[in-house]
Amino acid sequence: MKLIDLTHTFDKTMPVFPGDPDSKLEHTALLEKDGYNDSLLTTLMHVGTHMDAPLHMIKDGKTMDQMPVESFFGKGVLIDARGQSKIEATLLKDVQISEGSIVLLYTGYGEKYRTKDYFENNPQVTEEFAQEMVKRKVKIVGMDILGPDEPPFPTHKILLGKEILIIENLVNLNKLLHIPSFEIIVLPMNLQADAAPVRVVARIV
């Protein structure tokens, strides 16, 4: 069994969306001084590799802790969207996506994560692509960009309105190119909130 980690490491220099408060990861106790180590994490939910729950965009939508555990496991499907300014439904031509799959969009932006370029000229996931995800009854759409769309967030709302979860800020999707079969495991913190940090792993089968 081979596992590939698709998660950015969360550290004290995490990039945040321009205008958002900085995340903080700081020591509150030190082994040499206090006899143990402890740390304090202060962050918005939508930082680093994280998952959006329906409540993020949908009135009275489910919080992360209300989503069934079965939502977080599924057959993986990688869509190579490198070089695309718009991620269109035409990219799905001849792609086999079974019900309950987890679809990952590889744009190449994950390699830019700690640079200013990461926040500029992001590809946009079209409403037509999102509608096709609804039609095919996938569980999750994940991507190596900061989000699928811009205000007023129509793509977010299409997906989350049907309880299709969204993973943002993935990394290492290039390692899944040319791998014919893999599963995705997504483990979010069990938070009563609109989103949660996640550890995302691909299991090669």
Cα distances from 182 to residues 134, 151, 185, in angstroms, run 21, 33, 10
Determine the average pLDDT of the residues in 21-43.
97
**3-state secondary structure at position 107:** coil
Structure tokens at 89: 């439904």
What pLDDT sits at residue 146?
97
Q: Is the pLDDT of residue 59 over 80?
A: yes
What pLDDT sits at residue 1?
77
Domain boundaries, the chain: 45-204
Taking only the tens place, the pLDDT of each residue in 118-169 is 999 999 999 999 999 999 999 999 999 999 999 999 999 999 999 999 999 9
Determine the average pLDDT of the residues in 13-32.
96
- For domain 45-204, give the CATH number: 3.50.30.50
Q: Does the pTM of the predicted model rise above 0.85?
A: yes
What pLDDT sits at residue 204?
96
Check residue 169 and give left, alpha or beta (phi > 0: left; psi -120 to 50: alpha).
Answer: left
In the chain, % of residues over pLDDT 70? 100
What pLDDT sits at residue 132?
98
Amino acid at 78: L
Amino acid at 153: F
Which residues pair with residue 107 across a beta bridge?
none
Taking only the tens place, the pLDDT of each residue in 145-155 is 999 999 999 99
What pLDDT sits at residue 205?
86
